[in-house]
Structure 1
């Protein structure tokens, strides 16, 4: 069971409680589920009972108890407990890792996409400042991945007929959006105007009068130059996206150093390691197959959190959350990788196949997350 599955499971429990009259509340569009914090129990937790208590006219503990009754025996859940003022805590089955790995392998790079924001329409103002445009373009991609109808003012949703030099440079698979506009940066370092800057393009007064649409949204972004000519596309994008939008962008120089202190290098290197592990395993005569439980809580937790992180990044207009999560995933994978292949005279076993399947799933998550940011996931470094 993935966090997204768990969120839907809790939401269905709320609906059942409302349908049978146990609760008199409006069913929320989504239920937030997150990793259990220090002091909590189990793997995941939700504060849904606390958020519904006032409208239900009951205590949060009462609401939590009603939901807990309807969650007992749910496939994939080993235990449901109520703690504190009314938090629901969930412990997954020991073999839940298999469900997670299979979900990642089935979805591929699209793992983490969903429909939580279906029906939400977001329009961003046209921009010209480089970092504001890049951040907003990435947020649009995140919103669309969660089902929202998101666009940048003045930009089409496809690339048809748009010259290549009028789009933000991004690697294949990044699903880049066509962008236009002027930028004072030299042409070989120019990134087409991005929405969200403080320099909106001139508007047609007559067109505005005929279009009473709501005011366009803007993301507060600390400006910064986009420098693919100096840093390359990957480092240039990471430098602007890894820091929170309102913070100063990162110094690009350290991002060019192939060293473990460089987080961009760690993330891309971790992906390349997965590709080598799969190739080496093939030479030893086995491939990925999750047959037995794998004791890798940090890596499984990172993969399970990926859909939650993408949704939160979309809602909070914060692509830096994706970058930070990729670092967590990469670090967990690099710590785990040494257990994947047989050592010495050891023969490949079901445990090795399962570990390889988990590593492959981690590589898929890394590639998908990098793609959302418009950054390449190399086969080799």
Structure 2
């Protein structure tokens, strides 16, 4: 019996009690079951009686007793106890608990997926680095966390579009182009320009593919170099992201907002809502109406739109593309954006508590990381990947909450020891695959399954950890916290290592294969599947051998 099946049984019992008139209360669609902190209290527990008892006008223990009496009749339930003010503790018989192993193997890659967010359509923007240089350490954390959040949201039924906003408008692009122009002609980069060897690399690549550019005047060359440099730099960014296991469904160009008239249109749309006013020759959005600390200029007195105007046009564009929910993943220096973005949503007639969500990630650092020789004054993501490996870097970032600062320890990540969390988990997966290969060599297969034979305490612990995985994924999606998945598969790996040390999958010596060996192979492969599924949600590989 899986936790989901147990939850469904509780819902069925509650509905039956309501139909019989024994309780009068609105029954929830799902009932949460959890592992009790003290294993002596049973396999699973629920506090549903505490939630519904008083609403039903009953003492919670009295309500719990009604549920317990019916639950005890369910096949696979060995014992039901009531503890404290109304907690219901549930013990399954060995066969019912062990059935989970087979269910997981049969579910395969789909085990852990759930429908808790079905119906949600989300546009999630993250990374969005300027196309004027390589990705660096400041972009690394949200690249890893953002991609993992996308994965857990999709695993929980949400329809998610991952989006990268390309800031390819404004003076920064002309500065970028002029930097390339100067390097193209053997001149030093201008004051305020972009330093680093990558600018020379871009200039050399353009000179090779488009030699005619070198003969253009500065005025004529800037727009050409702006476009060629942009294309080359975005290709570099996309390759680095791919090497990090991060992909986007959409790369959205800011310049299209300016070229299409979307910014002017957004101003008029917000004016129609009654929130735009003119003052001192400029056009303003009255964001203070919605809690912002000051009103924001959209169009300057000289007729030039502000970055804020582009933000508003971009928000409305997402809305027009059919995304009710819009998520923004921003860096630690972007706290000031929260109020103004929520004000845009409210001014557009949306609910800022539902239609827009802004996550702020704290800074990360890497001990011993060196500034990039290519980029000159930054630590490049590509260098971190080459140094630490994508798996180790991603996992180290994803196992810590986004709102906590983090310092990555390279020496730890390079250790092939249990102190290294990513090694510990990947080794559990590799060990389980090796165990399966050894079982096959000894003639142990999955032709027999008898769940009642999984009686060792370590088997109970492992099954319990495996059973919690779907609810952990759902919780990670709801809270936007992929570190919950990481920490849980660490617990699964720990339970697996303990079980592996205590229980044999293969017979001793020349002894015959018995049903317990076949059944344990099912449990071994169930652990393999959960670890692989968990690592997959984090964008980390599950190695066959180590």
Shorter chain as normaliser: what TM range?
0.7 to 0.9
Q: Give the one of 523, 526, 545 matched to 1:361.
A: 526
Secondary structure of 1:218's aligned partner: strand
Q: Name the counterpart of 1:263.
A: 421
Give, in whole Å, the separation in 2 of the partners of 1:170 and 1:108. 25
Aligned-residue Cα RMSD (Å) equals 3.1
After TM superposition, the structure 1 = structure 2 runs for residues 314-325 of structure 1, keeping only pairs within 5 Å, are: 314-325=477-488
Is 2:432 the counterpart of 1:274? yes
Give, in whole Å, the separation in 2 of the partners of 1:207 and 1:25. 37
* Shift, 1:150, TM fit: 4.3
Secondary structure of 2:540's aligned partner: coil
After TM superposition, the structure 1 = structure 2 runs for residues 204-223 of structure 1, keeping only pairs within 5 Å, are: 212=350, 214=352, 215-223=355-363
Secondary structure of 2:357's aligned partner: coil
Query: In the alignment, is the contact (CA less than 8 A) between 2:399 and 2:487 conserved in 1?
Result: yes
**1:199-235 residue CA offsets vs partner (Å, 9 max, x unmatched):** 57999x9999767464421234222265323211101
Q: Give the one of 116, 128, 140 matched to 2:150.
A: 140
**1:309-349 residue CA offsets vs partner (Å, 9 max, x unmatched):** 21222222221111111111112212222422223333322
Structure number having the greater helix percentage: 2
Q: Name the counterpart of 1:224.
A: 364
Query: In the alignment, is the contact (CA less than 8 A) between 2:163 and 2:249 conserved in 1?
Result: no
Secondary structure of 2:13's aligned partner: helix
Query: In the alignment, is the contact (CA less than 8 A) between 1:167 and 1:180 conserved in 2?
Result: no
Give, in whole Å, the separation in 2 of the partners of 1:372 and 1:312. 13
Greater CA drift, 365-374 or 278-287: 278-287
After TM superposition, the structure 1 = structure 2 runs for residues 140-179 of structure 1, keeping only pairs within 5 Å, are: 140-152=150-162, 164-165=238-239, 167=241, 169=243, 177-178=248-249
Give, in whole Å, the separation in 1 of the partners of 2:435 and 2:157. 34
Give, in whole Å, the separation in 1 of the partners of 2:43 and 2:349. 49
Secondary structure of 2:356's aligned partner: coil
* Shift, 1:69, TM fit: 3.0
Secondary structure of 2:88's aligned partner: strand
Give, in whole Å, the separation in 2 of the partners of 1:23 and 1:2. 26
* Shift, 1:146, TM fit: 1.8
Secondary structure of 2:80's aligned partner: strand
Give, in whole Å, the separation in 1 of the partners of 2:344 and 2:98. 58
Q: Name the counterpart of 1:307.
A: 470
* Shift, 1:370, TM fit: 0.2
Query: In the alignment, is the contact (CA less than 8 A) between 1:80 and 1:91 conserved in 2?
Result: yes
**1:249-289 residue CA offsets vs partner (Å, 9 max, x unmatched):** 35241112111221211110111111111111111122134
Cα distance change on mapping 1:40 and 1:242 into 2, 3 Å: same
Give, in whole Å, the separation in 1 of the partners of 2:426 and 2:521. 18
After TM superposition, the structure 1 = structure 2 runs for residues 1-381 of structure 1, keeping only pairs within 5 Å, are: 1-38=1-38, 41-120=41-120, 124=124, 126-128=126-128, 129-152=139-162, 164-165=238-239, 167=241, 169=243, 177-178=248-249, 180=251, 195-198=328-331, 199=334, 212=350, 214=352, 215-224=355-364, 227-249=384-406, 251-253=408-410, 254-288=412-446, 289-292=448-451, 293-294=453-454, 295=456, 296-338=459-501, 339-381=504-546
Give, in whole Å, the separation in 1 of the partners of 2:506 and 2:51. 47
**1:142-191 residue CA offsets vs partner (Å, 9 max, x unmatched):** 12212234455668xxxxxx9753756455xx9x5446589xxxxxxxxx
Structure number having the greater strand percentage: 2
Q: What stretches of structure 1 of length at least 5 have no aligned partner?
A: 156-161, 183-193
Secondary structure of 1:380's aligned partner: coil
Query: In the alignment, is the contact (CA less than 8 A) between 1:101 and 1:290 conserved in 2?
Result: no
| Ranges of 4+ aligned residues in structure 1 off by more than 6 Å | 200-203, 205-211
* Shift, 1:54, TM fit: 2.9
Give, in whole Å, the separation in 2 of the partners of 1:58 and 1:345. 62
Cα distance change on mapping 1:208 and 1:117 into 2, 3 Å: closer
User: In the comparison of the two structures, how many residue pairs are matched?
Assistant: 360
* Shift, 1:24, TM fit: 2.2
Give, in whole Å, the separation in 1 of the partners of 2:483 and 2:545. 25
**1:114-135 residue CA offsets vs partner (Å, 9 max, x unmatched):** 1233345555455544323432
Give, in whole Å, the separation in 2 of the partners of 1:25 and 1:119. 27
Give, in whole Å, the separation in 1 of the partners of 2:467 and 2:362. 31
Greater CA drift, 334-343 or 232-241: 334-343
Query: In the alignment, is the contact (CA less than 8 A) between 2:126 and 2:142 conserved in 1?
Result: no
Cα distance change on mapping 1:25 and 1:118 into 2, 3 Å: farther
Cα distance change on mapping 1:16 and 1:333 into 2, 3 Å: same
